């Protein structure tokens, strides 16, 4: 039986990966390591929490000695590292937290693997990263695996640093690493600070929908289950030392995406057409706001046979249905200081 460490498994993408691995691979013991920040929530994992091949460990990846102890105790055969501070706006207001979690935390895991793993054969250290490390595109072109790094926010700079360190551990110590860089994910269990769940939450509760700047920035959206499927493929079949880009070929300006969401929400909530669009409010732009992200995912499609399974309108419908059916989850994660935090953020343009 192999023991796989998944970090950040109580967060959005991590919870989909943990659920998938626990259910699909009964021969693996899955250890989910997470320190449960505001973004980590164990109710994301109720479906599998009692499975015999699942264990949760509350721990902080910034504690290097603890990481070594855990590597010794569990003798992990592989690592899928997702734990991170993940929201660009928070990285602008509190950059240091991103340096500790994303850079120091990643190095602590790399070190633990380097020192505690006696034999690297059959092992894999898989680091999950973002397309934001490549910077911002103009109106044309795509990010490829060999696009030069050009991160522009504290979040993307911290993820770029961690990617560089992962590659350095391969080149210097021979640690068997692999990296993937994915575009914007959406789906169930995403914390309502990111655009899509925030807009769903606000529309449902008749709160303004803050659109940064002119709403003209473009993101390439991918359904989270498709990302989890890519992670599964890369963990099992991805080549050591390689990088794989993952994306949906699904570019939307923020304003077009929000308008589509408003239409879906009006229909689902039986409101007259146009009601939700009245909530759209243009607010002060994000500092250093990257204009456009777009991934070329030819490599993973050709080499590993991956492709996205859902059209965007289908994925968005499913996502809206999930949030409307899971009001308790939303209430739970938006209790406490949530509204106070967001009320402070916006200045109307
Ligand atoms: P998330 O914020 O929803 O979850 C992050 C998880 O990491 C949380 O459960 C949190 O408690 C945990 N965590 C944070 N700091 C920790 C620490 N010091 N020790 C232990 N656990 C800690 O993030 P997400 O959106 O699920 O993203 C997961 C990973 O995927 C991140 O590495 C992110 O950079 C990457 N990624 C995200 C996207 C996206 O669209 N969300 C796209 C590409 C890549
Ligand atoms: P976000 O979900 O924060 O992801 P990222 O910044 O990592 O791409 O934001 C997606 C896009 O939506 C981005 O261009 C910023 C914009 N945005 C808004 O216009 N309003 C909002 O309230 C948020 C959270 C984001």
- What is the 3 state secondary structure string of 245-270? EECCCCEEEHHHHHHHHHHHHHHHCC
Q: Return the best residue to mutate from 16, 32, 63, 86 for the ligand 1 pocket (most ligand atoms within 8 A of CB).
A: 86
The rounded Å distance from CA 275 to ligand 1 centre is 34
Residue 341's pLDDT is 66
Q: Where are the domains of the chain?
A: 2-190+222-249+291-313
Residue 347's pLDDT is 62
**Nearest ligand (C-alpha, residue 190):** 1
Q: How far apart are CA 297 and CA 113, in angstroms?
A: 29
What pTM, to 2 d.p., does this model score? 0.98
Residue 89's pLDDT is 97
132 is catalytic: yes
34 is catalytic: no
> Hey, whose CA ends up nearest to atom 14 of ligand 2?
217
* Nearest ligand 1 atom to alpha carbon 129: 44
> Hey, whose CA ends up nearest to atom 5 of ligand 1?
11
Residue 337's pLDDT is 76
Mean pLDDT by 10 residues, the chain (349 residues): 97 98 98 97 97 98 98 98 98 98 98 96 98 97 98 98 98 98 98 98 96 98 98 98 97 98 98 97 97 98 97 96 97 84 62
**Nearest ligand (C-alpha, residue 215):** 2
* Exposure string for 151-179, b = 16+ CB within 10 A, e = fewer: bbbbbbbbbbbbbebbeebbeeeebbbbb
Residue 336's pLDDT is 78
Q: At what angle do helices 254-268 and 312-325 cross, to 10 degrees?
A: 50
Both tokens assigned to 242: 């390689």
Q: What is the full DSSP assignment across 42-93?
A: GGGGTTTTT-TTEEEEE--TT-HHHHHHHHHHH--SEEEE--S---HHHHHH
- In 10 A of CB 93, how many CB atoms? 13
Given a contact cutoff of 8 angstroms between Cβ atoms, the answer to whether 129 and 102 are in contact is no
- In 10 A of CB 298, how many CB atoms? 12
Annotated catalytic residue: which of 34, 54, 126, 132? 132
**What is the CATH code for 2-190+222-249+291-313?**
3.40.50.720
Q: Return the best residue to mutate from 84, 158, 161, 246 for the ligand 1 pocket (most ligand atoms within 8 A of CB).
A: 84
């Amino acid at each position: 039986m192999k023991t796989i460490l998944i970090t950040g498994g109580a967060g959005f993408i991590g919870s989909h990966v943990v659920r998938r691995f626990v259910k699909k691979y009964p021969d693996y013991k899955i250890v989910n390591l997470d320190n449960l920040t505001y973004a980590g929530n164990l109710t994301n994992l109720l479906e599998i929490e009692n499975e015999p091949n699942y264990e949760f460990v509350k721990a902080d990846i910034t504690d290097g000695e603890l990481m070594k102890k855990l590597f010794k105790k569990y003798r992990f055969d592989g690592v899928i590292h997702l734990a991170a501070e993940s929201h660009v706006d928070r990285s602008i207001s509190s950059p240091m937290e991103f340096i500790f979690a994303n850079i120091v935390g990643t190095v602590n895991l790399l070190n633990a693997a380097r020192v505690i793993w006696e034999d690297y054969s059959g092992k894999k250290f898989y680091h999950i990263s973002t397309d934001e490390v490549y910077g911002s595109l103009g109106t044309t072109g795509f990010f490829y695996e060999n696009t030069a790094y050009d991160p522009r926010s504290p979040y993307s700079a911290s993820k770029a640093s961690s990617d560089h360190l992962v590659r350095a551990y391969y080149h210097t110590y021979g640690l068997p690493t692999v990296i993937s860089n994915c575009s914007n994910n959406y789906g169930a269990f995403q914390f309502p600070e990111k655009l899509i769940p925030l807009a769903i939450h606000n529309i449902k509760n008749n709160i303004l929908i803050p659109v940064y700047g002119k709403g003209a920035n473009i993101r390439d959206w991918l359904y989270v289950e498709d990302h989890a499927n890519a992670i599964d493929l890369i963990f099992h079949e991805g080549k050591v030392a390689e990088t794989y880009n993952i994306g949906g070929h699904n570019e939307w300006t923020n304003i077009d995406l929000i308008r589509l969401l408003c239409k879906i929400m009006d229909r689902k909530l039986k409101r007259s057409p146009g009601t939700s669009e009245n909530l759209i409010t243009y607010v002060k732009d994000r500092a250093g706001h990257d204009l456009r992200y777009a991934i070329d995912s030819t490599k993973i499609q050709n080499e590993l046979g991956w492709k996205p399974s859902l059209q965007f309108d289908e994925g968005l419908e499913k996502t809206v249905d999930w949030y409307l059916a899971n009001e308790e989850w939303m209430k739970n994660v938006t209790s406490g200081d949530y509204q106070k935090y967001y009320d402070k953020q916006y200045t109307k343009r």
